[in-house]
């Protein structure tokens, strides 16, 4: 159990630190504009595509509870193969929740606008997507004994 918790915490910490470092660059004023992607600063009060922004202050507490549940469930499963993708997802989620506490919204900065206007997102959002796909693949693959 201690080894599993250590792996989970190490991965979570690494993702959180990297994400916060990138966000700090944009908080300090750095911007970059191209014909396809702009790197700008936007504060998202909701989740993906600003959904649930009506929850306001309650959203960060709900997200913390969900992340705690994911960690507890992963440790309860005692399946080491879930530790890294869960650590990635929870570390990224905690980074976005930390933004809500520190800045009143999630710090987003990648704006894709080639061909269509896409939502503004960040490194943590990409890490969450990768982790979810990884977990789905793990869930539907046969565990080798």
Q: Annotated active-site positions, please? A: 108, 125
Q: How many CB atoms lie within 10 A of CB 74?
A: 22
Residue 49: Cβ within 10 Å count: 12
The two tokens of residue 137 are 């693949």
């Amino acid at each position: 159990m201690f080894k599993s918790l250590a792996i989970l915490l190490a991965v979570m910490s690494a993702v959180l630190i990297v994400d916060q470092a990138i966000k700090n660059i944009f908080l300090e004023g750095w911007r970059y504009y191209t014909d396809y992607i702009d790197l700008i600063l936007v504060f998202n009060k909701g989740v993906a595509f600003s959904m649930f922004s009506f929850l306001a202050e309650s959203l960060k507490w709900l997200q913390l509870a969900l992340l705690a549940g994911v960690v507890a469930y992963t440790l309860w499963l005692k399946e080491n193969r879930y530790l890294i993708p869960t650590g990635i997802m929870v570390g990224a989620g905690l980074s976005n929740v930390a933004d809500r506490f520190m800045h009143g919204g999630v710090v987003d900065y990648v704006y894709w606008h080639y061909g269509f206007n896409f939502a503004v997102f960040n490194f943590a959002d990409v890490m969450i997507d990768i982790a979810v796909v990884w977990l789905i693949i793990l869930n539907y693959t046969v565990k080798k004994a």
